[in-house]
Chain A
Amino acid sequence: MSRPVQFNNTVKFEGIPEGYMGEGYMATNFEKVVSMARKNSIWPLPFATSCCGIEFMATMASHYDLARFGSERVGFSPRQCDLLMVMGTIAKKMGPVLKQVYLQMAEPRWVIAVGACASSGGIFDTYSVLQGIDQVIPVDVYVPGCPPRPEAILDGFMKIQDLVNAEGLRRRHSDQYKDLLAGYGIQ
């Protein structure tokens, strides 16, 4: 006889996109379905460099569980991942390496800069630290904090989910996106 669930029993369900339902079929907006699928199954690549990486480990652990957002599987190969999570101080010598990892990711790809060092260099305003990863790759969401609490990382992740939901299927082929990448020197 199993014990009934006492806590967390108001679970939020992801709604079905509105559409026309019938006997064995449903007609709906393709973009909505694809966006819903994408946003609930993001596979992140933790590019964890320093202290923010430890906070990420806490986020992935059971208390703050990132897996309930669909990221049960974190990949460490850029070729298999959607979201590049850059967590920690990136030195100027590491910049080209980070760019190489970003280039190997397949579209659609998103980047989240976790922590003060990845967003802007943090307190390390010196000759060796890259003052923000947006000097080498385009970033979608910045999570401030030194280090940010796991709740803050989850909040940033949820904002990525909102971006994924609202993106649409044509963005990656648009001229604006191509111009954005050209600004970083990426073809």
Chain B
Amino acid sequence: MLTNETIQQQLTDKFGDQLSDWQEPYGMLTFTGAKEINLKVLQYLFDDETLKFRFLTDLQAVHYPNNKGAELAVVYHLHNLADNVRIRFKVFTDISQPDVFSASALYQAANWMERETYDFFGVNFVGHPNLIRVLNVDEMDYFPMRKEFPLEDQTRIDKDDEMFGRG
């Protein structure tokens, strides 16, 4: 019976205190790791015969502008299909040097998900076969989902500021 405690025990036996911030929001085990070992953790979770986390559900990023030095969090959601257990693995990186190792060699699904994360947050995935913009226009030079980017399209000149609460 694969429980959160077993997973946490196995991971701390293997990686020790390189993994931290163990939480269980809504029953889903969540932990943080250093960005240098992200592929090692993913590979271990994939290969181990009791853990068997072989399905990457989601790969996304979150921008925390107040966390200086660790602004961008890359989040992996993994799923064990045999035992129906999900975990979340977070990796933090600096916004001025947002390099994270790419998981596309391990999971095929990570290919486009990393392209989308690059497109919207600017995370540079090292080792990705084709890291270009996927959902936005190719000529775009900013990263839309970062917090400093404004919500509305800046080419509009006819929007009345007072009606939109900005006047």
Which residues of A line the B interface, CB within 8 A? 92-93, 121, 125-129, 131
Contacts and interface: CB of A to CB of B under 8 A. Distances in A.
B159 interface: yes
Contacts, number: 27
Interface stretch (B53-61, B76-84, B147-155): B147-155
Interface string B129-167: 000000111001000100001011101100100000000
Contacts of A127: 136, 140, 144, 149, 153
14 contacts: A92-B137, A93-B135, A93-B137, A121-B156, A125-B151, A125-B159, A126-B151, A126-B153, A127-B136, A127-B140, A127-B144, A127-B149, A128-B136, A129-B153
A125 B137 contact: no
A174 to B, nearest CB: 29
A121 B159 CA distance: 12
Contacts of A126: 151-153
A127 B151 CA distance: 8
A126 B150 CA distance: 9
A128 B140 CA distance: 10
Nearest to B149: A127
A115 to B, nearest CB: 18
A129 B135 CA distance: 12
A121 B136 contact: no
Contacts of A93: 135-137
A170 B156 CA distance: 35
Given A92-B137, A93-B136, A93-B137, A131 B151 contact: no
A121 B137 contact: no
Given A127-B149, A129-B153, 17 more contacts: A93-B135, A93-B136, A121-B153, A121-B156, A125-B151, A125-B153, A125-B156, A125-B159, A126-B151, A126-B152, A127-B136, A127-B140, A127-B153, A128-B135, A128-B136, A131-B153, A131-B155
B151 to A, nearest CB: 7
Contacts of B140: 127
Contacts of A131: 153, 155-156
B69 to A, nearest CB: 27
A125 B135 CA distance: 17
A126 B151 CA distance: 6
Nearest to B133: A93
A92 B155 CA distance: 12
B60 to A, nearest CB: 17
